[in-house]
A and B are shown apart, each in its own frame.
Chain A
């Protein structure tokens, strides 16, 4: 147990920038944009609506003034608070998207670098003089970025959502239809946090073939692991296309990188309202289990090459 704690901590320390500071930086950028909008833009809806009403009435006389249209819209929203609340909660989920993109980029480059770097700077000689199995080392290098780092991302997502809610509360202050309490109640921050946790956890397995492939490249590439990682599947896909005229390889890879996991969760209009149902449908798909099997095989290969590190 001590060993595992030490391995995880080691990985955390080495790439703390990607795991901790990157999501925090995104949350800060979101906060800055909101603050700019509220201060420089000076948008408070009550004022805005009044001004807009006056302006539009002056200009267009007979048209329904913008301020009133906003007022009507808010009234509509307020009429069915449960349905609107569900949509609102779902919309708030989108705040996590930039964090998800960041997670993918960080994980991609960490996995691609980790076993390569220790060979190139010869620190592998030090790590391998420690009583730690290669299997455990490689697993810790997978688990840290894929399943533990997202805990920070989820915390940062909730933080960013809180910023959005504060901004909304200020924006809608005193509108007469929707109260601050409504906003915070229907936001469902805790529910949202669990939904993102489940999304990341599932994503980790859904993309396992991609993660394991990156570790494998990292463990064998003689140099330029990025080129190896990108070119090898393209060459295989080109051979497939030239031989069979099909695109299964490319479709599998792109499907298992990001899109399927996050698209199914958020954008797919046919998907159910529950994020868990969408994730469940991923788990029920054959592609998930084929991907996991493939991922495990490549992971075993990465361990094999790390054991024979001095011969690679």
Chain B
């Protein structure tokens, strides 16, 4: 049973098509990166997954339920961080913890307290008095203690410095992630999540243009560095993308046998950013 199953999701806002037949699944134990350019429909996709809006058509189930209809029940098992700015600034830390532990029976108050104990965050502080980094730490402490089956992170480290970003993902991996849990992350900082993902979905213009497991990428995609005079050979093999570099031509291929390519130039595995530019950039 999939944690999340979305097929042919359509969503329009007036004339704008936000989702145009999006297909996506998340299974238990996966960490899925949802990556796409601005305006590709990532946020709309996440909002529909979280039951914040209703899709126009298509099938969507989150833990086997319709997220729009049963958002309140689902939020016991699913948790969500939009970005650093969404905690109520007027509230005090202990009041916020009280609130969450009262409305969410799965929330582990002790765990949250332990996480916060090692930070600079004081129980009596107002959230408006916390720094950006501390606010994220607090949000993360609340989310990690809610023992959700699915954690959705929408640009969670926006506006944070490098140190906090690193700690953020370390906490997510060490304190949250285990066999039966899943994570969906969107971010612009592809490099920062590349090493923690198990699966990746590239989104463009409202649909998924690539869905793959991270460990199948090296076998499927290759990057070739070749001399400029091999241009015609490269073109004859239908590269995903082709761009000039200082040393010659860099081409990325989907599904070509490595031995065919080794004749042309030096073959390596593209990293996620290169792949993203090749797949999404080639489309537009």
A128 to B52, CA, bound (A): 8
Residues of B within 8 A of A5 (CB): 102
- Looking at B57-65, B67-75, B193-201, the stretch in contact with chain A turns out to be B67-75
Check: A3 CB closer than 8 A to any chain B CB: yes
Tally A-B pairs: CB < 8 A. 81
Check: A147 CB closer than 8 A to any chain B CB: no
Residues of A within 8 A of B13 (CB): 311
User: Do B86 and A131 have beta carbons less than 8 Å apart?
Assistant: no
User: Do B47 and A130 have beta carbons less than 8 Å apart?
Assistant: no
A263 to B72, CA, bound (A): 43
Check: B233 CB closer than 8 A to any chain A CB: no
User: Do A130 and B82 have beta carbons less than 8 Å apart?
Assistant: no
User: Do A6 and B85 have beta carbons less than 8 Å apart?
Assistant: no
Residues of A within 8 A of B95 (CB): 9-10, 13
Among B52, B89, B99, point to the contact of A310 (Cβ < 8 A): B52
Check: A123 CB closer than 8 A to any chain B CB: yes
Residues of A within 8 A of B99 (CB): 6, 9-10, 130
Residues of A within 8 A of B102 (CB): 2-3, 5-6
User: Do B82 and A125 have beta carbons less than 8 Å apart?
Assistant: yes
A7 to B91, CA, bound (A): 13
User: Do B103 and A14 have beta carbons less than 8 Å apart?
Assistant: no
A308 to B142, CA, bound (A): 25
Check: B178 CB closer than 8 A to any chain A CB: no
A115 to B86, CA, bound (A): 15
Give the distance to chain B from A116, nearest Cβ to Cβ, in Å: 14
Check: B231 CB closer than 8 A to any chain A CB: no
Check: B272 CB closer than 8 A to any chain A CB: no
Check: A133 CB closer than 8 A to any chain B CB: yes
User: Do A311 and B53 have beta carbons less than 8 Å apart?
Assistant: yes
Give the distance to chain B from A295, nearest Cβ to Cβ, in Å: 24
User: Do B52 and A132 have beta carbons less than 8 Å apart?
Assistant: no
Closest to B100 in A: A130
Q: In B257-271, which residues have CB < 8 Å from any A CB?
A: none
Among B51, B79, B85, B98, point to the contact of A122 (Cβ < 8 A): B85
A133 to B75, CA, bound (A): 10
Number of interface residues of A (CB under 8 A): 28
A13 to B93, CA, bound (A): 12
User: Do B47 and A310 have beta carbons less than 8 Å apart?
Assistant: yes
Q: In A293-312, which residues have CB < 8 Å from any B CB?
A: 307-311
A121 to B127, CA, bound (A): 14
Residues of B within 8 A of A6 (CB): 98-99, 102-103
Closest to A311 in B: B53
Check: B80 CB closer than 8 A to any chain A CB: yes
Give the distance to chain B from A77, nearest Cβ to Cβ, in Å: 51
Check: A40 CB closer than 8 A to any chain B CB: no
Check: A129 CB closer than 8 A to any chain B CB: yes
Check: B111 CB closer than 8 A to any chain A CB: no
User: Do B87 and A130 have beta carbons less than 8 Å apart?
Assistant: no
Query: A2-B102, A3-B102, A6-B103 are contacts. A131–B88 as well, Cβ < 8 Å?
Result: no
Give the distance to chain A from B109, nearest Cβ to Cβ, in Å: 13
User: Do A308 and B54 have beta carbons less than 8 Å apart?
Assistant: yes
A310 to B47, CA, bound (A): 8
User: Do B85 and A132 have beta carbons less than 8 Å apart?
Assistant: no
Closest to A1 in B: B102
Query: A14-B90, A122-B85 are contacts. A130–B52 as well, Cβ < 8 Å?
Result: no
Check: B50 CB closer than 8 A to any chain A CB: yes
Query: A9-B98, A126-B86, A310-B52 are contacts. A131–B91 as well, Cβ < 8 Å?
Result: no
Give the distance to chain B from A297, nearest Cβ to Cβ, in Å: 21
Among B81, B82, B98, B104, point to the contact of A131 (Cβ < 8 A): B104
A124 to B89, CA, bound (A): 12
Residues of B within 8 A of A132 (CB): 72, 75, 103
Check: B76 CB closer than 8 A to any chain A CB: yes
Query: A2-B102, A9-B99 are contacts. A129–B75 as well, Cβ < 8 Å?
Result: yes
Produce 1/0 per residue, A87-127, CB < 8 A to B.
Answer: 00000000000000000000000000000000001110111
Produce 1/0 per residue, A170-213, CB < 8 A to B.
Answer: 00000000000000000000000000000000000000000000
Residues of A within 8 A of B54 (CB): 308
Among B71, B80, B90, B91, point to the contact of A125 (Cβ < 8 A): B80
Closest to B95 in A: A13
Ranked nearest first, the 6 interchain pairs of A and B with the lowest CB-CB distance are A6-B102, A131-B75, A129-B80, A125-B82, A126-B86, A133-B72
5 contacts between A and B (CB under 8 A): A125-B80, A131-B72, A308-B53, A310-B52, A310-B53
